[in-house]
Amino acid sequence: MSTDRKQSGFKQRTRVDDALAALRDAVDPHGRVEHLPLSEADGRTLATTLEASANVPSAPEAAMDGFAVRASDTFGASDRSPEVLRVVDDEPTAGTVGPNQALRVHTGSALPDGANAVLKIEQAEPIADEVEVFDAVAEGRTSLPPARTSKQVSISTTRGRCCDPPTSAS
């Protein structure tokens, strides 16, 4: 500690590290631990270090712009006899693809549940809330499996850190 009153205007000055250490020593941790979903932990202090690893991306991806479909719904489609599928949502990957349904997707977006192929935009003609399919698509042919594009990502957030939105997102 220093007592140079002429420069500081205070009787005593304390280094920041020393002040933080004194504060930590003075605060008595309550010892309680709550188990919360990460989505509800904003502003809380982590009681333990969190570690997670995941394949990113974890789902198959569209290899091109088009419609996520069930491949079997396109079998038999041709220019002379197109199959007609109902477009279930206008938002990419916002829903689930059921029988005789299609969902618009963009290159690199995750395939929605129920879909196992991507119908190229060139092989289809959107009409209102439907799409005419002019060519069959094989399962997995126009999508990328997670193993082909994914990488292992490890995340660690240390004990004592405040759980803020960037921490939750990581």
pLDDT per residue as tens digits for the range 34-45: 888 878 888 888
In this structure, whether the domain defined by 61-143 belongs to CATH 3.90.1660.10 is answered with: no
pLDDT per residue as tens digits for the range 59-78: 788 888 999 999 999 999 99
Alpha carbon distance 32, 41 (integer Å): 15
Answering whether pTM is above 0.85, one says no
- Which positions ≥6 away from 57 have C-beta within 8 Å? 110, 146, 149, 150
Question: Residue ranges of the domains in the chain?
Answer: 41-58+150-170, 61-143
